[in-house]
Amino acid sequence: MSFFSQPVGVSHFLVVGAVLFVSGVVCMAVKRNALGVLMGIELVLNGANVNFVAFSSPFLRSDNAYALGLDGQLISLFVIVLAAAEAAVALAITLNFYNNHSTVDVDRADELKG
């Protein structure tokens, strides 16, 4: 129980990031709905973002070298932009699939083969 009595540190952020990542993977594996799979992808990306920011924390550095520590934040910003573009494209594909098939079940997507 000493883990819960510590002040919030890097390990706590890593645990939150791991929980988000695992719940996103489970959501992608379990959901049959395309929108549920998209939510799982967003959870995975957000879990990775939390880990990037936690790993760039100045409290994690053992040496006293001068560094801004913005590497994780910049990668997170890039991942957020990438996730927004991915969500827009995937939502457009999902809406087009719904207009053609009246469902967003991913098992029916085998008709998209060329």
- Segments making up each domain of the chain, as ranges: 2-60+68-106
CATH 1.10.287.3510 fits 2-60+68-106, yes or no: yes
Q: Which of 77-81, 98-102, 108-112 has the lowest mean pLDDT?
A: 108-112
CA-to-CA distance for 10 and 23, rounded, in angstroms? Answer: 20
pTM: 0.79
Give me the pLDDT at residue 31, please: 87
Q: What is the mean pLDDT of the chain?
A: 84
Q: How confident is the model at residue 25 (pLDDT cuts 50, 70, 90)?
A: very high
Give me the pLDDT at residue 114, please: 54
CA-to-CA distance for 60 and 44, rounded, in angstroms? Answer: 23
Query: How is residue 63 written in tokens?
Result: 């040496």
